[in-house]
Amino acid sequence: MSIAEPEFIDVDGNAIALRRQPGAAPGIVWLGGYKSDMLGTKADRLAAWTADKGRAYLRHDYSGHGESGGDFADGTISRWLAESLAVFRQFAGGRQILVGSSMGAWIALRMAQELRRAGEDRVAGLVLLAPAPDFTAELVEPQLTDAQRSELAEKGYFEEPSDYSDAPYIYTRALIEDGRANLVMTGPIDTHCPVHILQGLADPDVPPAHAMKLASLLPADDVTLSLIPQGDHRLSRPQDLEMLAQAVEEMVERAG
pLDDT tens for 155-197 read 999 998 877 777 788 999 999 999 999 999 999 999 999 999 9
Residue scoring higher pLDDT (112 or 161): 112
In a domain? residue 178 = no
CB 209 within 8 A of CB 237: no
Structural domain count, the chain: 1
CB 89 within 8 A of CB 16: no
Please tell me the predicted confidence (pLDDT) of residue 2. 56
- Measure the CA–CA gap between 141 and 195, rounded to whole angstroms: 27
pLDDT tens for 94-110 read 999 999 999 999 999 99
Count, in order, helices (H) and strands (E) of the chain: 8, 10
In a domain? residue 107 = yes
Query: What's the DSSP call for residue 76?
Result: -
What is the torsional sign of CA 195, 199, 204, 209?
positive
In a domain? residue 16 = yes
Which residues touch 66 (CB under 8 Å, ≥6 apart)? 17, 36, 37, 38, 39
In a domain? residue 166 = no
In a domain? residue 161 = no
In a domain? residue 239 = yes
In a domain? residue 143 = no
In a domain? residue 142 = no
- Domain of 194 in residue numbering reads as 7-133+187-255
- Measure the CA–CA gap between 68 and 88, rounded to whole angstroms: 16
pLDDT tens for 36-60 read 999 999 999 999 999 999 999 999 9
Question: 14: domain CATH number?
Answer: 3.40.50.1820
